[in-house]
Amino acid sequence: MIDLENVAFSYGGGELLSDISLKLSPGSFHFLTGPSGSGKTTLLKLCYGALIPTAGYVHLFEADVRNMERDDIALARRRIGVVHQDCAFLDHLTVADNIALPLTVSGRDTLEEVANLRELTGWVGLTQRADALPPELSGGERQRAALARALIMSPDVILADEPTGNVDWEMSQRLLRLLIELNKMGKTIMIATHDLALIRAAKAHVQARVLRISNRRLQLAGADL
């Protein structure tokens, strides 16, 4: 699905990531961890074609990202649900409209999809907040709305960048359960987080591969996790 092969990425003259190889197979569950500034968000962006590697290859659904037109990347992104670190909402649209945004931009805002939207909004527990504007939401509600938006297109892959960063423990557990449930439905999941407790909690329920970025390189995390 998403394949990184000896990828390097440089920014501002310095190399941020080096010799990264990663394969996100269908139905797999990955955690990506590492200290702040280690390049977790950058690696996720490489995985959904928001950044082009300075060396190596990134394949999105078999296609080399370097050879893809912007519109091809846009089409590939419809198969990848991204939960952005700061949620990235359009503040002038309601929560329901934000969740439906991927449908809107792909011209799939049909009645059937609207029914799916209602179901999904209920699934993440935001039915009562559907008409609110994003600035009116709490941290947990924002994260759940971002997750709902990532899921609305029924993507093959979900990439989540610190999805529990702004929520309390109880809410982070709830979000984690949602992601585990999605993985059991066959979705490929990768979560970037520095919350080790969250990773430990997940490993009790799902076969997860934990990767750590250290010194610009990607390695399997130790048994302490």
Partner 1 sequence: MKLSFDIDSFRGLLAGDAQADRVVPPTGFTAWLTLFSAGAMAFLAVFALALSLATSRLADRWGDELARSSTIRISAPEGQSIAQTEAALRMLETTPGVASARALTKAEQQALLEPWFGPDLPVDTLPIPQLIEVIEEGSGFDAAGLRLRLSAEVPGAVLDDHTRWREPLVRAANRLRLLGWISLILIAGTVAAMITLAANAALSANAQVIGVLRLVGARDDYISGAFERRFTLRALTGAGCGMLAGVIAILFLPSAEVGGGFLTGLGFQGWHWIWPLIIPPLTALVAFLATRAAARRTLGGMS
What residue ranges bind partner 1 (CB under 8 A)?
50-51, 70-71, 74-75, 77-78, 82, 84, 88-90, 92-93, 97, 101-102, 104-106, 109, 149, 153
Question: Minimum Å distance from CB 53 to partner 1?
Answer: 13
Question: Minimum Å distance from CB 49 to partner 1?
Answer: 10
β-bridge partners, 202:
none
Calculate the alpha carbon distances from 39 to 73, 85, 101, 117, 214 in Å: 21, 13, 28, 33, 9
Place of tokens 């709305």: 145
β-bridge partners, 220:
211
Question: Minimum Å distance from CB 194 to partner 1?
Answer: 22
- Residue closer to partner 1, measured from CB, 78 or 194: 78
- What's the rounded Cα separation, in Å, for the pair 16 and 46? 12
- Residue closer to partner 1, measured from CB, 63 or 196: 63
Nearest Cα to 40, choosing from 194, 184, 205? Answer: 194
- Residue closer to partner 1, measured from CB, 79 or 209: 79
Question: Minimum Å distance from CB 68 to partner 1?
Answer: 12
